[in-house]
């Protein structure tokens, strides 16, 4: 027997499954399984990406000052309180690594993002799963689950795959109610699609125990580039920067993201189109007899009558070359998560579901 064993917790990790990208035997696939932008990144960002080839022999800067300045200007934030990572996933990882370990508890919620328990296990902490209420994060249930060992509370807001949103008042109540040694992490991967919502930025500015994470992977159409950022109290940023690798982001990532951030006209168009298509998709699904909550993200959780019906519909969609996401692993065996595509994609998926349901 080998004496080589991993750290406690690591073998408790269930491997992360991403949205599928291919259907065997099909060349043309409509991929609505990973919440990617159907519009891709802005042209300016693509130009910056191409231009970056000229300086690939140089090491990137380590302090990300230009990117942080662009983010700070656009969002009206203090650049000293911003940290950038390889996707927002890396920022979440910094938080877990810096603030939780063996004997500590990390709270996530019933339908929350699969990365949260993975991160807790990876640092040897205990992942504590709290029920949601009607597909919404339940603030009181989280507060009831907090103990003296709670170090981190991870919440996606809007939620994935629910698409539901907690109000500023509910977030403030949560931040006020968690124990003194705990941090509330607001994962804002879909904040751009939640009209009138700041992702919790004001709450971060006002408090010492809240962190907001954001990403270029969704609304900015740069999932393949792997870049995200966090906004946190200065003391926490000072901690996270100690464990961040100095060259975690390439010069290509940095310059492309900076240009993408400054192209807010492109972002506004993507968001407006997505919100319009989302409303249409939800209404159209309801007309075919499929239940769907209002969504504040770029996807819709389509709920069927049973697990079997969801599986059959998934199979029918595959037959039409359409990939959506089964979400049994997120506590929804009877549902499919459908990314809001462009107008023709929305029409195609609704048409296929309508045919499956026998509705025209
Ligand atoms: C997509 C997604 C992210 C983004 O992760 P990146 O590492 O920035 O690509 C984060 N949180 C949730 C809930 C997501 O769905």
Q: How far apart are CA 242 and CA 245, in angstroms?
A: 8
Any atom of ligand 1 within 6 Å of the Cβ of 217: yes
Task: State residue 23's pLDDT score.
Answer: 85
Checking DSSP bridges between strand 299-303 and strand 332-339, what pairing results, if any? Answer: antiparallel
The secondary structure of residue 327, as a DSSP letter, is E
Domains and CATH numbers, the chain: 10-40+265-357 (3.90.1150.10), 43-263 (3.40.640.10)
Average pLDDT score over the chain? 96
User: What pLDDT does 360 receive?
Assistant: 44
What single DSSP character describes residue 276? H
- Are 65 and 202 in contact by the 8 Å Cβ rule? The answer is no
Q: Is 199:179 a contact under the CB 8 Å cutoff?
A: no
138 Cα to the center of ligand 1, angstroms = 21
Assess whether the C-beta atom of 85 lies below 6 angstroms from ligand 1.
no
- Residue 2, classed as helix, strand or coil, is coil
Ligand 1 in contact with 189 (CB < 6 A)? Answer: yes
pLDDT at 31 over 50: yes
Which segment of 22-26, 102-106, 346-350 scores lowest on mean pLDDT? Answer: 22-26
Helical axes 65-75 vs 251-262, angle rounded to 10°: 20
| Contact between residue 307 and residue 337 where contact means Cβ atoms under 8 Å apart | no
Q: What's the confidence (pLDDT) of residue 21? A: 83
DSSP assignment letter at 303:
E
Distance 216 CA to ligand 1 centre (A): 9
Work out which ligand 1 atom sits closest to the CA atom of 89: 7
What are the pLDDT digits (tens) for 63-84?
A: 999 999 999 999 999 999 999 9
Give the distance (Å) from ligand 1 centre to CA of residue 298: 12
Q: Which of 266, 285, 277 is nearest to 344 (CA)?
A: 277
Distance CA 135, CA 213 (A): 22
Instruction: Answer yes or no: are the C-beta atoms of 196 and 50 closer than 8 Å.
Output: no
Mapping DSSP to helix (H, G, I), strand (E, B) and coil, where does residue 340 land? coil
In the structure, what pLDDT confidence band is assigned to residue 353 with cuts at 50, 70 and 90? very high
Please choose from 16, 85, 88, 119 the residue to mutate so as to test ligand 1's pocket, defined by most ligand atoms within 8 A of CB: 88
Q: Give distance in angstroms: CA of 237 to centre of ligand 1.
A: 20
Q: What percent of the chain has pLDDT over 90?
A: 92
- Per-residue pLDDT tens for 91-128? 999 999 999 999 999 999 999 999 999 999 999 999 99
Say how many Å lie between the CA of residue 35 and the centre of ligand 1. Answer: 9
pTM, whole model, 2 decimals? 0.96
β-strand 105-109 against 150-156: which pairing, if any?
A: parallel
Task: Give the tens place of pLDDT for each residue, 143-192.
Answer: 999 999 999 999 999 999 999 999 999 999 999 999 999 999 999 999 99
Ligand 1 centre distance from Cα of residue 111 (Å): 14
Residue owning the nearest CA to atom 10 of ligand 1: 189
pLDDT digits (tens, 9 = 90+) for 317-340: 999 999 999 999 999 999 999 999
pLDDT of 16 over the 90 cut: no
Q: From residue 23, give the alpha-carbon distance in Å to each of 33, 45, 220, 301.
A: 12, 30, 26, 21
pLDDT at 347: 98
Pocket flag, ligand 1, residue 157 (CB < 6 Å): no
State what percent of residues in the chain have pLDDT above 70.
99
pLDDT at residue 359, rounded to an integer = 60
Examine the pLDDT at 348 and tell me if it is beyond 60: yes
* Per-residue pLDDT reduced to its tens digit, 216-248: 999 999 999 999 999 999 999 999 999 999 999
């Amino acid at each position: 027997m080998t004496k080589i064993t991993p750290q406690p917790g690591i073998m408790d990790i269930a491997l992360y499954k991403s949205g599928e990208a291919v259907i065997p035997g099909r060349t043309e696939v409509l991929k609505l399984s990973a919440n990617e932008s159907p519009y891709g990144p802005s042209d300016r960002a693509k130009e910056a990406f191409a231009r970056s080839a000229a300086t690939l022999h140089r090491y990137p800067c380590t302090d990300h000052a230009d990117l942080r300045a662009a983010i700070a200007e656009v969002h009206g934030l203090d650049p000293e309180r911003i940290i950038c990572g390889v996707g927002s996933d890396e920022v979440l990882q910094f938080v877990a690594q810096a603030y939780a370990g063996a004997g500590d508890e990390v709270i996530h919620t019933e339908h929350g993002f699969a990365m949260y328990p993975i991160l807790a296990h990876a640092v040897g902490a205990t992942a504590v799963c709290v029920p949601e209420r009607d597909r919404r994060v339940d603030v009181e249930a989280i507060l009831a689950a907090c103990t003296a060992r709670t170090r981190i509370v991870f919440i996606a807001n809007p939620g994935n795959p629910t698409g539901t949103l907690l109000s500023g008042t509910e977030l403030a109540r949560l931040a006020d109610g968690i124990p003194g040694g705990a941090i509330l992490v607001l994962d804002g991967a879909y904040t751009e699609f939640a009209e009138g919502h700041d992702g919790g930025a004001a709450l971060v500015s006002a408090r010492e125990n809240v962190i907001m994470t954001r990403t270029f992977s969704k609304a900015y159409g740069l999932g393949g580039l792997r870049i995200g950022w966090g906004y946190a109290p200065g003391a926490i940023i000072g901690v996270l920067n100690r464990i961040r690798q100095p060259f975690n982001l390439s010069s290509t990532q940095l310059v492309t993201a900076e240009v993408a951030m400054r192209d807010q006209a492109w972002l506004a168009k993507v968001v407006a189109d997505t919100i319009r298509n989302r409303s249409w998709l939800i209404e159209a699904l309801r007309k075919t007899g499929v239940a769907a909550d209002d969504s504040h993200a770029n996807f819709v959780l389509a709920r069927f009558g049973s697990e079997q019906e969801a599986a059959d519909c998934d199979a029918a969609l595959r037959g039409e070359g359409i990939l959506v996401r089964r979400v049994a692993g997120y506590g929804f065996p009877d549902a499919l998560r459908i990314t809001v595509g462009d107008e023709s994609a929305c029409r195609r998926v609704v048409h296929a579901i309508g045919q499956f349901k026998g509705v025209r």
